[in-house]
Structure 1
Amino acid sequence: MSKIYLESLSPKGLNVFKKLTNFADFGHLAGGTALALQLKHRESVDFDIFTPEEIKKDLLRKCRKVFGENLEVLINSPDQLTFLVPEKINITFVFYWYKKGYKNYAHKILARILYRGRD
């Protein structure tokens, strides 16, 4: 397993990243932040989650439960849901029809990293 560079996230970004574990079964982290967590080549500024299913209306409801009611919704369609959380970080859920060829264990790895030593 490769190392995850959480220092690629700002303190606010890390807080948002922790909350994204609520969506681990929905899709997988993609884009620049996914690379930054693996390569440590830049600071992350947003989160892109790819999902093999169209975006349903109840996803926005769940996002409001997790991130709070004060989301600034920028795009809400069957292909994409993009919003700003109160920390002013952009989150995008994208319907990406091409199925990934691996299992998503990122949420388990993240839980191990974030909660290491807490028994």
Structure 2
Amino acid sequence: MFTNILTANQVKLLPLVKEFSRDYYLVGGTAIALYLGHRRSIDFDLFTSGRIKKQSIKRLIDRHKCQVSDILFEDSEQIHLVIHDVKLTFFSYPYRIDAPIDFDQIIHMPDLLTLAAMKAYALGGRAKWKDYVDLYILLRDHFSLAQISEKSKDIFSAYYNEKLFREQLCYFQDVDYSEKVDFVVQPVSDEEIKQFLTDVATTPFSF
């Protein structure tokens, strides 16, 4: 795993993250970056198949003497906190996800193809440039669009729409660039990423 993608504050929070390993698994851009080492991370996304137990979360945070500087959002299914300039998300995920990969005996993660499928499925609900960067690296170096789509269908069934994913993959008008992408590898220009994703999205499947 490419642990160099973590900030110093994230490393300090790893003992706290480990406390949630029984009920939660690590997903999102941070999990993908730990596999690929392509960009620095800024957060921890912790998902569970069960209910969010807010009192338990707050109790464990207090036990580690961590100071919550902000609560960005919370409802019955999720809570988004900021601790030491690191955003932690706790989310009750409605789909079955296997997380067999052990990250340094801290917390488990799904395999990379599952993370790619989750990223593809989530693209319709947001438009952050870092998500397009992640998908660019995944599609350039690791998986075909067909492989990601097949995995997405396995996980999300009829809730995944391949046509919509292709459209989203090459639609950039509403993209949020507010979170700067800090490349660890050789930086890639926005235009190169856009052109590659457009080519992939408009090309027939090839396994």
Question: CA–CA distance in 1 between the matches of 2:38 and 2:30?
Answer: 10
Runs of 4+ in 1 over 6 A off after TM superposition: none
**Gapped runs of 5+ residues in structure 2?**
108-207
Gaps of 5+ in 1: 112-119
1:21-40 map, 5 Å: 21-40=18-37
Cα 1:41/1:95, change in 2 over 3 Å: same
Hey, which of these two has a bigger chunk of strand by percent?
Answer: 1
Give the 3-state SS of the residue equivalent to 1:105 in structure 2.
strand
Q: Distance in 1 between matches of 2:78 and 2:65?
A: 18
Is 1:14 aligned with 2:11? Answer: yes
What is the RMSD of the two structures over their aligned residues, measured on CA atoms?
A: 2.1
Contact 1:64 1:70 in 2 (8 A): no
CA-to-aligned-CA distance 1:41-75 (integer Å, 9 cap, x gap): 10000110011012123222323323524442222
Distance 1:75 1:14, change over 3 A: same
2:97 alignment partner in structure 1: 100
Between structures 1 and 2, the one with greater helix share: 2
Number of the residue aligned with 1:48 = 45
1:64-75 matches, within 5 Å, as 64-66=62-64, 68-75=66-73
Q: How many residues align?
A: 106
Aligned to 2:76: 78
Query: Which entry has the higher C-alpha Rg, 1 or 2?
Result: 2
**Which one-letter code corresponds to 2:51 in the other structure?**
E
TM-score normalised by L of structure 1: 0.76
